[in-house]
Amino acid sequence: MLLRFSKMHGIGNDFVVLDCRHGGFPLDRAQIRALADRHTGVGFDQLLSVEPARDPACAFYYGIWNADGTPSGQCGNGVRCVAAWLHRAGALPLGDNVLIESPSGPVTVRLLGANEVTVDMGEPLFEPARIPFSAGQAADRYRIEVGGDALEIGAVSMGNPHAVVSISDLAIPDLAAAELQRLGPQLSGHKRFPQGANAGFVQWLDRGHLRLRVHERGAGWTQACGTGACAAMAVLHRRGEVDDRVQVALPGGTLRIDWAGPGRPVWMTGPAAFVFEGEWTVPADPDEDSG
């Protein structure tokens, strides 16, 4: 079977996008992993499927799968790519607010240009049970043991769970510190996050500028994480450390995040880029060749 796809990225967070508007999602978990392989497949951080909406209030639905084949509830850079893909397909006009449906629920998108999109990412959820995160009441900071180290983290859901660590609390100078290579995977898989978490390490520059690195559950270290940028801004905003508009610099580029506080949605603005179109020969049983 030949599978047609689009390769896209949002500031380095890369995706394969499948047009499933006229048929079901065609891949199983093993085939997703095979497609994600950067040596023998196409390679991506997440796979995105564009499908008919389940919710009649929405124009389309998009599914999200990590490189290891696990499903995801939300992807900020991915939704911008979905919106740009739909615009190029003639299905989404410039300038209008349009509801599209994510696995976590409806999302409002607006195309500012053919390759620039602003997205209503919803209100951050800090209640531990809704993240989910094992804790009592919601707090600005939690102490957590990670690989024998005691860390202070913020925990929030942006449609998927996030652990946010300020590197000033780690007493390390910058985001290039080797210590993060160990802490990222350990925090992503920590037992207090029953569904895993995206682990974001944030460097505060001033009240309007942050730097961020994210280790994503199911994908590893990424060039960019849109929900991670929203999560970092929301956690620091809740602590009173940033203003209502923040530029978040990630390894792949910069996102603008706006949040006016509780009761309001987070808005994320950034680019979406097309890389190439292609066809991939779907293996019947990709695990047979995994050795």
Asked if 131 and 175 touch (Cβ cutoff 8 Å), the reply is: no
Residue 285: predicted pLDDT: 67
Structure tokens at 213: 């690195």
pTM of the complete model? 0.90
Pairing mode, if any, of strands 2-10 and 273-281? antiparallel
Active centre residues (catalytic):
75, 225
Q: Residues spanned by CATH 3.10.310.10 within the chain?
A: 2-122+273-289, 128-264
Structure tokens at 135: 């804790």
* Token pair 């860390």: residue: 151
Q: What is the CATH number of domain 2-122+273-289?
A: 3.10.310.10
Secondary structure E strands in 43-138: 46-51, 61-66, 97-102, 105-113, 116-120
Yes or no: is domain 128-264 CATH 3.10.310.10?
Answer: yes
Q: Mean pLDDT, consecutive 10-residue segments, the chain of 291 residues?
A: 95 97 94 97 97 97 96 94 97 95 95 94 97 96 92 96 95 90 96 97 98 95 96 98 98 97 97 97 67 40
DSSP state of 288: G
Residue 173: predicted pLDDT: 87
Alpha-carbon distance of 224 to 147, in angstroms, equals 25
Asked if 48 and 18 touch (Cβ cutoff 8 Å), the reply is: yes
